Structure 1
Amino acid sequence: MKILMATILTVLLCFKWAAAQNEERADTTFSLGSGWVLELDPNDQPYPDYLANPRRPQMQLGLSVADSEIPETSSGRIMCDLGTRYTLFKVTPTQEGKNEFAVDIEGCLFTQFDPGNGLDNIGWDGRFGIFGVWDWSDKVVARIGSRHISSHLGDEYIEETGRERIGYTRNDLAFGMGCYLNQDLFIYVEPSWAWAIGNADRQKRLAAEGGIQYQGPHDLWNNSTAFYAAAHVRAFDETNWEPGVSVQTGFHITRNQHSSNLRIGLDAYTGRAILGEFALDYDESYLTLGIFFDFY
């Protein structure tokens, strides 16, 4: 799994970086006949990111103050994520309006380091998945797909504490649906069912998440910057549907719709531990000042 994750991330990030170097993009659209067009490597993603989701594929560097029950850890965290979500292609009608279809792939490595204990790696989670997306009239969007999430303990944390892995792994079938209440406000829900789990004695199969987010107009700093705010809730049957609530707010900076973009924000979370290896046993709260970078 580690080799596969590293390969996916390397290919995706290198490809998107190379594409971003070209000011002029080649025409990658092809007629499919009957009024439909195929576009490879499209400029946009029909299904929005869940901005406040602590497990959305992204590039992140964050400094956190934590109140965590995880044993033998300090009150600080450094969050370092490496990943992206990428739309391979989309199929659209030649007449503007309804029914746009796309395929997304994603991969991310989520890590936490402890600055109070020599920057020891507490643990890391890996995620990859594939989704089919349906965008209906730019108001309602839906997706269905499968994702793999597995969690691991840091080697230094194992050496210091002697803790052993519980084998936390989920292979989910997820169905998400969202609605734009207006041009700036988006609301969504995504239930999931794990068709495979790593620890059958402790894990359960059902989970759900949802949220609401606001993305304002880019009318600040030479029309490159917008204010945004988002809230996300996730809950798992395996932890008695205890809600994990995260809120994020900050500024979204981008040159244009064809470029990658940067978010600088504050992120707050309370609920079960984010790292899967600790999620069944411990709760935590944290406040993070982060830089979030997305490829499009």
Structure 2
Amino acid sequence: MRILMATVLTVLLCFEWAAAQSEERADTTFNLGSGWVLELDPNDQPYPDYLADPRRPQMQLGVSVTDSDIPETSSGRIMCDLGTRYTLFKVSPTKEGKNEFALDVEGCLFTQFDPGNNLDNIGWDGRYGIFGVWDWSDKVVARVGYRHISAHLGDEYIEETGRQRIGYTRDDLAFGMGIYLNQELFIYVEPSWAWSLGNDDRQKRWAAEGGLQYQGPHDLWNNSTAFYAAAHVRAFDETSWEPGVSLQAGFHVTRDQNSSNLRIGLDAYTGRAILGEFALDYDESYLTLGIFFDFY
């Protein structure tokens, strides 16, 4: 319960921080010569988020109804994620932002708590990474980079069940590419190859993900709110390429393009267990009502 309260407090503090960011920002652009411009701490991210990806670095507080094969767990989950993806800088030949190059860093802690068992922590995954991004004419975007994810069991779950870690860890190289079909529709694919595995006997190196997402115009509630919907599919060689399918839909609220983003939506998933320590052995489905908060 204390972890949950700390998570809620962190979310509230981030909202307060976001309000401060909506004020006028200083100019952080620098002329590099030969027509190139460097912008530190840019207002936008050239590579968009995968909105329905269950392992997207984000702030989330969600309540789930779950049908899970994970032993000795209830049919409910509290999802608490703490993290973000942040663009350190971008370089472009003009201030119009065409043919941009950027550097992104990301990190997130993904946790699940069991409300049917005294809010015991079932497990948590940690993720961090760094990506180089290329935005070509605002139509085609690509990124390549390094990503680490390590999975852990909750102390309470270990005490209650006696289960031990299998040592699920991946260090991979990922290459993502996306295309804007129009201003509102974005489609993407991202294969990855793990050069280091925590459990060589059970894990395999190849994985892939992709999806389609729609971001509508902000024409609701004083032009601050838009409807959005997204679908995401991911599959791993280590689980015979069984697809894990995520669907998410809801409302995106933002004051302006320089402010942080709040999403309120329903998230549905079916496939292998999301937490890495259970992913090789169990399947699950869930429906989550969540608040998703992105800041940069």
TM-score, normalized by length of structure 2?
A: 0.93
Q: Distance in 2 between matches of 1:90 and 1:38?
A: 6
Give the superposition deviation at 1:244: 0.1
The 5-angstrom pairing of residues 1-296 of structure 1 reads: 17=17, 20-21=20-21, 23-94=23-94, 96=96, 98-296=98-296
Q: SS state of the match for residue 47, structure 1? A: coil
Q: Distance in 2 between matches of 1:184 and 1:56?
A: 20
CA deviations over 1:68-126 (Å, ceiling 9, x no partner): 00000000000000000000000011264741000000000000000000000000000
Equivalent pair of 2:18/2:295 in contact (CA under 8 Å) = no
Instruction: Answer yes or no: is the 8 Å Cα contact 1:126–1:150 preserved in 2.
Output: yes
Q: CA deviation at 1:218?
A: 0.1
| Distance across 2 between alignment mates of 1:147 and 1:159 | 31
Distance 1:74 1:109, change over 3 A: same
Contact conserved, 1:35 with 1:95, CA < 8 A, in 2?
Answer: no
Deviation at 1:21, TM superposition (A): 4.0
Identity %: 89
1:207-229 Cα deviation digits (max 9, x unpaired): 00000000000000000000000
| CA deviation string 1:220-276 (max 9, x = no partner) | 000000000000000000000000000000000000001111000000000000000
Residue ranges of structure 2 left out of the alignment (5+ in a row) = 1-9
Aligned residues: 284
Conserved? CA contact 1:106–1:130, under 8 Å: yes
Q: 1:137 to 1:22 in 2, by over 3 A?
A: closer
SS at 1:241 equivalent: coil
Residues 177 and 190 in structure 1, CA contact (< 8 A), matched pair in contact too: yes
SS across alignment from 1:203: coil
Indicate if the aligned counterparts of 2:178 and 2:186 stay in contact, CA closer than 8 A: yes
User: 1:186-225 CA distances to partner (integer Å, 9 max, x unpaired)?
Assistant: 0000000001000000000000000000000000000000
